Amino acid sequence: MGKPPFCCLSFQQLLVNRKRKRPFETDPIRSIFVLSQKYMSIHKIIILVIALVIIPNIIANSPLLPERMNASSNHYYSIYIMDNGKTDAEDLAAMLLFYNPNVSPSLAQEIANIYFEECIDEGVNHDIAFCQMTLETGFLKFGGSVLRSQNNFCGLGATGGSVRGEYFPDMRTGVRAHIQHLKAYASKEDINKPCVDRRYKYVKRGSATTIYALQGKWAADPLYDQKLENLLDRLFLLRRLMASQQNTFEHSF
């Protein structure tokens, strides 16, 4: 019998080099390379490399493929603390209600409005500040060492156990202290309103300009920055879903 064509060779035969002394059963990558040299021309090898390596990497590194979503930069959050947030107060309130339906809609909207306003006054990214609040309070469920009555929405001064941290007379003052503390970490500029954060003076100014730099400074949790990023992901995902539902509803009439 003559030599069978390439398409009829068994898989075991394909994994053995033409020099029978050196089988490649345990090294599939090398086997593919040897086979490609034997049965494929150079231009086919190049096409194969592009198809299997380069194209998948390009696709994987394209965040949400904005060209296919008709998306703009407004669809993506900023990791910089001193930056403009992309959401509005309604988006923030919706996130809080989605993850804690026990919060009243009026309270959710009130605290969202306060975060939105206080962040604008200081130039702080309200997306980051609000997500940090949800992380520190468990979406206003509290349950840790900080009590709901403290109006302390970011764990200022709390170190666990009986050390509950700072107390503030009302919601707005507590939010303002949070924003001032964030600004102290992220900027060397002065705050625009009278200081209500008693720990403001202890912060090394401008030492944490992004969410990633807060880990080890704001909290000792080694995953703190990743948790913040995850919350930002969830905020913007929920925002896109709500926008999609709204568009579907409008086009149904």
Domains of the chain: 6-60 (no CATH), 75-251 (1.10.530.10)
In this predicted structure, what is the pLDDT of residue 178? 98
In this predicted structure, what is the pLDDT of residue 87? 96
Reported as a single tens digit per residue, the pLDDT across 151-196 is: 999 999 988 777 889 999 999 999 999 999 999 999 999 999 999 9
Which string of DSSP letters, residue by residue, matches 52-95? IIIHHHHHHTSTT-HHHHT--GGGS---BSSS--SS-HHHHHHH
In this predicted structure, what is the pLDDT of residue 250? 60
Which residues of the chain fall below pLDDT 70? 1-75, 247-253
Query: What amino acid occupies position 188?
Result: K
How far apart are alpha carbons 249 and 242 in whole angstroms? 11
In this predicted structure, what is the pLDDT of residue 115? 98
In this predicted structure, what is the pLDDT of residue 164? 87
Q: In 3D, which of 181, 186, 151, 176 has the Cα closest to residue 165? A: 151
Predicted model pTM: 0.70
Is residue 51 helix, strand or coil?
helix
